[in-house]
């Protein structure tokens, strides 16, 4: 068992058995919210760190490479600790059957997460050693960190982390009585020996880093007298101070967070002192906070990190200049809004599907709040309605772009675009208010899941809201069918039959066909996926047919598929989108955007710019 894994400790399970996490419902909600926020910040922040260093050659040095290895360890920790947090604090129930032990070993037990944690500790020690030699022996080639040494360090860090975690994988199993993952050691002394090993993994690196950084700090801040140094030497010292201060801050945060966790672990493991579940959870939050806060330390104490982060947040390309305005077209902004809606739908529909398929749901106040905000899928359907409105807006944009290419008053300006996007989200939120009001947890039913509880004497509300959803989908599909039919007739029949058009106009029509075909493909997939969802919803609400959670989850996944497949449609049907994806992933300067016929941005012009995606 790992030193910093209180929610998955076998002994902790018996203490936490009364309710998820062994705490009050309000404490559970608060701690769960904090933990999941930290997990999201951890993954996003450390991913940005990796991307910044990968995209900027001037930041590719040994310290930053070690920071990338540290960031990868932190990301792995956050991703694989999330299932353990979900089961421990939100549901307290675990899937049973043949897969239970496998899940405990690789997912819900958090074992893989602690591989990332050990690798992070190893990386911090390597950074401390690198700083020591860079400051104390700057001209020693033998002690300099070369790329070969760096590769060896990274390889050894992960091999050691995996090897150190093997006992957890071997002993992790699912206890049917406790309904939790436990670590079943053959003999008691093995558990204590492994606990001592975990303590050493934390304490020894802290001692080593404290010793190294104390000597480095003494050399940089007390021994050097700037009066006797040249301007160039003072600049070198200033850079070394800045980098060293940054990594010392990261190490200090590690020492505080893991130090507190170690104290709690020792008290729980080797004494009879009663540690409350809240204190244990706080110590766990601190360990996760250690991983999440590192990117902010880099940005706070390193001006280069700040500048590169600003560039990336402003959508800079690999060379540091702003991305060309070839993609700044109204339809692309609408596709961006569609993508945001799809992301939100995926994030908030996943808990609904997982809970309805695999596990029971917490009851009481926590159950009601979770149903309204997380496991009921309400926020997902807000995003779903926004997707519907956005697709209709795209159809109108295509209609006016093809049939009225030079009419300024019908051009989709930025002001109109902002109104459309804002209107889409406002309408979506208002349309789903009844869901938030009616959604609750019904503990009386055997399924023990989120249900829509309409007022007893107002059953018509359920039918009316069902019909509203049906009208929304059917009317939207009908509008898109009509608009795209007119567009197809114009582009594929009228334009092709016109032999009097010149070469440039043919290029314009070709571009319009390609972009319209892409939008039509996305709309068609939407109609198929949401059509199935609408049929299921009507049958479940208006008829007496028995619709199981498996059926509900299946159609939910069809809608999720609709969201997931859109980027592949863009890449398949749009060359420029493919090129920009390659540049984003590989940061290649050789992948220039293709310049051909152009799709209109100013409808008064005689030609168009192929800049739509």
Which residue would you say has higher pLDDT here, 542 or 253?
253
Give the C-alpha distances (Å, rounded to integers) separating 566 from 341, 468, 485, 510: 12, 26, 21, 22
Question: To the nearest whole percent, how much of the chain has pLDDT over 90?
Answer: 14
Q: Is 116 exposed, middle or buried (0-12, 13-18, 19+ CB in 10 A)?
A: buried
Which residue would you say has higher pLDDT here, 533 or 9?
533
Is residue 5 within 8 Å of residue 110, measured between CB atoms?
yes
Query: Which long-range contacts link 436-444 to residues 24+ away (Cβ below 8 Å)?
Result: 436/372, 436/378, 439/371, 439/372, 439/376, 439/378, 440/368, 440/371, 440/372, 441/361, 441/362, 441/363, 441/367, 441/368, 441/370, 441/371, 443/363, 443/367
Half-sphere exposure of 554 (CA within 13 A, CB side): 8
If you average pLDDT over every residue of the chain, what do you get? 78
The confidence score (pLDDT) of residue 310 equals 74
pLDDT tens digits, one per residue of 110-162: 889 889 999 999 999 998 898 888 888 877 666 677 788 888 999 999 999 99
Cα separation, 470 vs 351, in Å, equals 24
Cα separation, 480 vs 395, in Å, equals 6
- Ordered alpha helix ranges (H), 60-173: 62-85, 99-106, 111-136, 147-171
| Element at 605 (helix H, strand E) | none
Helix axes 231-270, 277-301, angle to 10 degrees: 170
The confidence score (pLDDT) of residue 480 equals 92
Cα separation, 192 vs 440, in Å, equals 45
**3-state secondary structure (DSSP) of residue 156:** helix
Most confident listed range (256-265, 379-388, 445-454, 568-577): 379-388
pLDDT tens digits, one per residue of 566-597: 888 888 887 777 777 777 666 544 444 444 44
Cα separation, 522 vs 589, in Å, equals 30
Residues 6+ apart with CB under 8 A from 404: 410, 603
pLDDT tens digits, one per residue of 325-352: 444 577 888 998 999 998 988 888 877 7
Q: What is the average per-residue pLDDT within 178-201?
A: 84
The confidence score (pLDDT) of residue 72 equals 92
- pLDDT band (50, 70, 90) for residue 2: very low
Cα separation, 39 vs 24, in Å, equals 22
Cα separation, 257 vs 251, in Å, equals 10
Half-sphere exposure of 195 (CA within 13 A, CB side): 21
The confidence score (pLDDT) of residue 204 equals 92
Q: What is the average per-residue pLDDT within 351-360?
A: 66
Q: Tell whether the model's pLDDT for residue 7 goes beyond 60.
A: no
Q: What is the average per-residue pLDDT within 286-304?
A: 84
Give the distance from CA 525 to its chain's centroid: 25
Which residue would you say has higher pLDDT here, 14 or 476?
476
Please, which residues bridge with residue 450 across strands? 441
Q: Tell whether the model's pLDDT for residue 545 goes beyond 90.
A: no
Q: Which residues of 357-369 are buried (b: 16+ CB within 10 A; e: fewer)?
A: eebebbeeebbbb
Is residue 70 within 8 Å of residue 294, measured between CB atoms?
yes
Residue whose structure tokens are 């790992």: 2
The confidence score (pLDDT) of residue 322 equals 43
| Number of other residues whose CB lies within 10 A of the CB of residue 428 | 20
pLDDT tens digits, one per residue of 54-87: 888 888 888 888 889 999 999 998 888 877 776 6
- pLDDT band (50, 70, 90) for residue 599: very low
Q: Is 577 exposed, middle or buried (0-12, 13-18, 19+ CB in 10 A)?
A: buried
Q: What is the average per-residue pLDDT within 466-486?
A: 91
Give the C-alpha distances (Å, rounded to integers) separating 561 from 385, 477, 528, 529, 577: 16, 18, 11, 8, 20
- Tokens, residue 50: 């990796």
Nearest residue to 57 via CA among 587, 534, 498, 519: 587
| Number of other residues whose CB lies within 10 A of the CB of residue 353 | 19
Residues 6+ apart with CB under 8 A from 349: 377, 380, 556, 559, 560
Residues 6+ apart with CB under 8 A from 268: 6, 9, 11, 12, 275, 280
The three-point CA angle 427-428-434 to 5° equals: 100
Q: Which residues of 2-39 are buried (b: 16+ CB within 10 A; e: fewer)?
A: bbbbbbbbbebbebbeebbbbbebebbbebbeebbebb
- Ordered alpha helix ranges (H), 489-574: 503-542, 549-573
pLDDT tens digits, one per residue of 208-234: 999 988 888 888 887 755 556 667 777
Cα separation, 281 vs 172, in Å, equals 21
Is residue 49 within 8 Å of residue 67, measured between CB atoms?
yes
The confidence score (pLDDT) of residue 244 equals 84
Cα separation, 45 vs 303, in Å, equals 16
The confidence score (pLDDT) of residue 36 equals 80
Give this prediction's pTM: 0.55
The confidence score (pLDDT) of residue 549 equals 67
Q: Tell whether the model's pLDDT for residue 605 goes beyond 60.
A: no
pLDDT tens digits, one per residue of 8-56: 333 333 333 344 445 556 666 677 777 888 888 888 888 888 888 888 8
Cα separation, 323 vs 317, in Å, equals 5
- Number of residues in the chain: 613
Cα separation, 460 vs 454, in Å, equals 9
Residue whose structure tokens are 């920009």: 580
**Could you give the domains of the chain?**
25-224+233-315 (1.20.1070.10), 345-494+503-585 (1.20.1070.10)
């Amino acid at each position: 068992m790992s030193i910093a894994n209180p929610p998955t400790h076998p002994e902790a399970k018996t203490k936490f058995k009364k309710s998820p996490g062994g705490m009050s419902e309000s404490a559970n909600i608060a701690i769960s919210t904090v933990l999941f926020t930290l997990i999201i910040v951890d993954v996003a922040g450390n991913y940005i760190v990796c991307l910044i260093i990968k995209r900027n050659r001037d930041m590719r040095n040994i310290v930053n490479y070690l920071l990338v290895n540290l960031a990868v360890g932190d990301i792995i920790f956050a991703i694989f600790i999330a299932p353990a947090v979900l089961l421990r604090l939100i549901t307290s129930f675990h899937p049973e059957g043949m897969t239970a032990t496998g899940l405990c070993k690789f997912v819900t037990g958090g074992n893989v997460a602690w591989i990332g944690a050990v690798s992070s500790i190893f990386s911090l020690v390597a950074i401390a050693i690198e700083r020591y030699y860079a400051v104390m022996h700057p001209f020693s080639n033998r002690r300099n960190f070369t790329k070969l040494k760096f590769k060896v360090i990274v390889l050894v860090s992960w091999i050691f982390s995996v090897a150190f975690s093997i006992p957890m994988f071997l002993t992790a199993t699912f206890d049917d009585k406790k309904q939790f993952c436990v670590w079943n050691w053959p003999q008691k002394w093995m558990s204590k020996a492994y606990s001592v090993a975990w303590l050493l993994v934390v304490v020894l690196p802290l001692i080593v880093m404290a010793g190294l950084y104390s000597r480095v700090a003494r050399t940089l801040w007390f021994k050097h007298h700037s009066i006797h140094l040249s301007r160039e030497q003072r600049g070198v010292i200033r850079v070394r101070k800045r980098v060293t201060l940054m990594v010392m801050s990261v190490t200090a945060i590690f020492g505080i967070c893991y130090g507190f966790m170690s104290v709690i672990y020792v008290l729980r493991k080797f004494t009879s002192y009663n540690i409350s579940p809240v204190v244990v959870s706080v110590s766990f939050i601190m360990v996760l906070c250690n991983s999440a806060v590192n990117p902010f330390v880099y940005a706070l104490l390193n001006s280069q990190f700040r500048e590169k982060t600003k560039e990336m947040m402003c959508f800079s390309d690999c060379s540091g200049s702003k991305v060309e305005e070839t993609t700044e077209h109204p339809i692309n902004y609408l596709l961006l809004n569609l993508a945001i809606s799809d992301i939100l739908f995926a994030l908030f529909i996943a808990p609904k599907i997982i809970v309805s398929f695999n596990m029971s749901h917490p009851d009481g106040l926590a159950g009601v709040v979770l149903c309204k905000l997380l496991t009921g899928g309400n926020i997902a359907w807000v995003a779903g309605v926004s997707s519907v409105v956005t697709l209709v807006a795209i159809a109108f944009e295509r209609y006016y772009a093809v049939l009225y290419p030079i009419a300024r008053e019908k051009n989709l300006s930025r002001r109109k675009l902002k109104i459309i996007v804002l209107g889409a989200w406002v309408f979506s939120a208002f349309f789903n208010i009844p869901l938030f009001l009616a959604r609750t947890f019904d503990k009386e039913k055997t399924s023990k899941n989120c249900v829509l509880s309409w007022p007893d004497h107002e059953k018509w509300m359920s039918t009316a809201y069902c019909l509203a959803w049906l009208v929304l989908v059917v009317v939207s599909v009908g509008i898109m069918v009509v608009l795209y039919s007119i567009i197809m007739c114009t582009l594929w029949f009228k334009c092709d039959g016109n032999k009097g058009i010149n070469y440039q106009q043919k290029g314009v029509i070709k571009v319009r066909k390609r972009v319209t075909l892409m939008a039509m493909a996305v709309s068609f997939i939407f109609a198929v996926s949401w059509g199935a969802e609408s049929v299921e919803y009507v049958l479940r609400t208006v008829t007496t047919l028995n619709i199981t959670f498996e059926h509900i989850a299946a159609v939910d996944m069809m809608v999720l598929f609709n969201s997931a497949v859109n980027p592949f449609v863009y890449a398949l049907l749009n060359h420029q989108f493919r090129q920009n994806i390659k540049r984003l992933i590989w940061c290649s300067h050789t992948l220039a955007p293709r310049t051909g016929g152009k799709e209109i941005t100013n409808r008064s012009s005689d030609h168009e710019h192929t800049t739509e995606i």
